[in-house]
Amino acid sequence: MHTQPPTPCSALDGILQHHGHRPTELLQILINAQQLEGWLPAPTLTYLAQALRLPRARVEGVAGFYSFLYTRPAGRFRVLFSDNITDRMLGNAELMDALCRKLWIEPGKLSEDGLVSIDATSCTGLCDQGPAMLVNGRAIGQLNHRRINEIAELIRQQRPLAQWPSEYFHIDDNIRRRDALLNLDMKPGAALASAIARGRAGWLAEMQASNLRGRGGAGFATAVKWSSARNAPGEPKVIVCNADEGEPGTFKDRVLLNTYADLVFEGMTLAAWAVGASEGFLYLRGEYSHLLPQLEAVLARRRAEGLLGMRILHEQGFDFDIRIHLGAGAYVCGEESALIESLEGKRGTPRIRPPFPVTCGYLGRPTVVNNVETLAKTCLIALQGGEAFAATGTAQSAGTKLLSISGDCAAPGIYEYPFGVSIARVLEDCGASDTQAVQVGGASGICLAGYEFQRRIAYEDVPTAGAFMIFDGTRDLFEVARSFVHFFAHESCGFCTPCRVGTALLKGFMDKLADGHGAQADLADIDWLDRLLKNASHCGLGSAAPNPVIDTLQKFRPAYERRLVSLDFEPAFDLDAALAEARQLTARDDPGAHLQTHEEGTP
């Protein structure tokens, strides 16, 4: 047992004070409290529960939900390797292995001196400059063996993060193609002034004329969402910007928040003007916490300029302000009702819908949840009018779309295109060759094979939140699908039976195939699980979880079939694997310590 120093109550009191002892701030309080000791000891949870007058079990429930909160000792240096397929393609496994060997620890375990722990985490949104890692929450990209050697040394010397070379933490925007949004050079407040001049109803009419649809992937008409919230009873109304950009392969919101934060906050304020909202939240994924100081500075400047706060731009009755709420490693919080639960300081479990957030959202109030890109785009509409916006793109998909391009291409980064651009055109522009497949829309999206490259990015053809991962002829699409299946199993909130158990079973089947124990019967079971997940899951995470398997089984079936050892059945129990512990205990790994499980010889 570790003997722990007594919990510094005065420090906890300061954190509680800062958050006004509000139970809705529980997640924020836990994130801050963890910074004291690097993890959340049991007495800390008890103390916080008492101070907030919450049942301790509820606090423990929340602390146990988020990947970046630790209820068991973690290292003073907590290293998390980003484990998206694009990180894997850039060799993250080898780098993680190298760092573990240099520091003499095993992945997922704490070093005996409590100095360091190393593990993997879901995509951190640096796919254009991977492989990437988080150290105590700070993002580092462009890892290579030299950098890993240096990091090992810095950790061994126990050098505080503030003294690490600053270039480690430098993150590029990598904007490769600009169109209407990324070319917009707007004076802060210009869009707001224009919308205020139109009046609330006039501004909403402009939004309706624009045909703007949600850029988070689902494509719901933004004006419809806004007017539903505007007409719903209940005050004060809430605008939430969903910056929980967790979809593997997506990083456009990172760039918008880094360089175009004014557009995003102005968009939120434009939404507040239309809806009559007075409270705003930016839900920022924990992986992007490095953006927090600069975003707070932008908010402070906007307050000073009269663009936030009471009587915005001197308009009587237009009061609106924005707070930033940090996530802590939970992809499911990108689902809007789970995000709202998380905003309320709870576990991020998706709600039963209806009622929808527009009528019953944050604390039961009408709440608009919009994607970062959607909100930024509203500035264009306010400045140039709805009709001008609607005139670009395609019939059902007005405007432009930001694509986050990564994988096998010469120039990964952000590309802005008018909707309707073909996959082939995008591939050409980013310098991809010998492309075998493209995963559009991230893990939950669609895997397109060569014969589909004439299809177009648009809601009516290939809808996407913006992820665009490219796989050339050398890649194994089975491994791509397997990595996404692992991702969903890790990120399932565990609320409903099909997703909680189904994603874990699917992971087991994919691993069985990868280990060379697959049989035809497994493919039938995979098919069956895919269908049940699609049909029976409580939210979009579960119903999207089988997508990568469904697509690759259909389009790249040989990648699965060549792994099968039997045409009918192979047991899931692997006798040789079960002996691994015995081999470790006896320090033997010679042929005599292994069982020949396939004596007939495998193909």
Partner 1 sequence: MSKQFLLDGQPVPFEDGQSILEAARKAGHYIPSLCWHKDFPAHGSCKLCIVKAAGRHVSACATPAKEGWEVESNTPEMNGERRGLLQMLFVEGNHFCPSCEKSGNCELQALGYEYEMLTSRFRHFYPDRPVDASHPDVLLDFNRCIFCELCVRASRDVDGKSVFALTGRGINKHLVVNAESGRLADTDFSKDDLAAHICPVGVILHKGPGFAVPIGERTYDTASIRSQKLKEEES
For partner 1, the binding residues (CB under 8 A) are 42-43, 45-46, 55-58, 60-61, 63-65, 67, 330, 347, 352, 489-498, 500-505, 508, 525, 528, 532, 535-538, 572-573
- DSSP for 328-350? -S-GGGGSHHHHHHHHTTS--PP
Least Å from the CB of residue 499 to partner 1? 8
Which CA distances in Å does 199 have to 193, 248, 353? 10, 40, 32
Least Å from the CB of residue 503 to partner 1? 7
Which C-beta is closer to partner 1: that of 43 or that of 317? Answer: 43
- H/E stretch holding 35 reads helix 26-37
Q: Give the β-pairing of 77-82 and 116-121.
A: parallel
| Tokens (6 digits) for 94 | 């080898």
Contact yes or no for 23/52 (Cβ under 8 A): yes
199: helix, strand or coil: helix
Q: Which residues, in sequence order, are CB contacts of 5 under 8 Å at separation 6+?
A: 37
Which C-beta is closer to partner 1: that of 54 or that of 449? Answer: 54
Which C-beta is closer to partner 1: that of 56 or that of 138? Answer: 56
Which C-beta is closer to partner 1: that of 7 or that of 464? Answer: 7
- H/E stretch holding 258 reads helix 252-259
Least Å from the CB of residue 46 to partner 1? 5
Nearest CA among 219, 191, 562 for reference residue 383:
191
Least Å from the CB of residue 576 to partner 1? 16
Looking at the DSSP assignment, which residues form a beta bridge with residue 519? 566
Contact yes or no for 340/361 (Cβ under 8 A): yes
Least Å from the CB of residue 504 to partner 1? 4
Least Å from the CB of residue 488 to partner 1? 9
Q: Hey, what amino acid is at 500?
A: R
Contact yes or no for 411/430 (Cβ under 8 A): yes
Looking at the DSSP assignment, which residues form a beta bridge with residue 78? 117
Which C-beta is closer to partner 1: that of 8 or that of 418? Answer: 8
Q: Which residues, in sequence order, are CB contacts of 230 under 8 Å at separation 6+?
A: 204, 237, 274, 275, 276, 366
- Please state, as a whole number, how many other Cβ atoms lie within 10 Å of the Cβ of residue 536: 14
Which C-beta is closer to partner 1: that of 352 or that of 587? Answer: 352
Which C-beta is closer to partner 1: that of 142 or that of 543? Answer: 543
Which C-beta is closer to partner 1: that of 58 or that of 555? Answer: 58
Least Å from the CB of residue 354 to partner 1? 8
Give CB contacts under 8 A, 24+ apart, made by 350-359. 350/493, 350/495, 350/538, 350/539, 350/541, 356/228, 358/225, 358/228, 358/229, 358/232, 359/228, 359/229, 359/232, 359/234
Which C-beta is closer to partner 1: that of 60 or that of 461? Answer: 60
Least Å from the CB of residue 87 to partner 1? 21
Which C-beta is closer to partner 1: that of 8 or that of 494? Answer: 494
Least Å from the CB of residue 218 to partner 1? 16
45: helix, strand or coil: helix
Least Å from the CB of residue 333 to partner 1? 11
Contact yes or no for 322/268 (Cβ under 8 A): yes
Which C-beta is closer to partner 1: that of 451 or that of 573? Answer: 573
Least Å from the CB of residue 548 to partner 1? 17
DSSP state of 261: H
Which C-beta is closer to partner 1: that of 67 or that of 258? Answer: 67
Least Å from the CB of residue 367 to partner 1? 20
Which C-beta is closer to partner 1: that of 52 or that of 414? Answer: 52
Which C-beta is closer to partner 1: that of 292 or that of 579? Answer: 579
Give CB contacts under 8 A, 24+ apart, made by 531-536. 532/498, 532/502, 533/498, 533/499, 533/502, 533/503, 533/506, 535/498, 536/496, 536/497, 536/498
Alpha-carbon distance 187 to 189, whole Å?
6
Which C-beta is closer to partner 1: that of 347 or that of 377? Answer: 347
Q: Taking the chain, what is the end-to-end CA distance rounded to the nearest angstrom?
A: 50
- Please state, as a whole number, how many other Cβ atoms lie within 10 Å of the Cβ of residue 4: 13
Q: Give the β-pairing of 237-243 and 277-284.
A: parallel
Least Å from the CB of residue 332 to partner 1? 8
21: helix, strand or coil: coil
Least Å from the CB of residue 108 to partner 1? 13
Q: Give the β-pairing of 413-418 and 446-449.
A: unpaired
CA dihedral 566, 568, 571, 575 (to 10 degrees): -20
Least Å from the CB of residue 590 to partner 1? 29
Task: Give the burial class of 461: count Cβ atoms within 10 A of its Cβ; 0-12 exposed, 13-18 middle, 19 or more buried.
Answer: middle
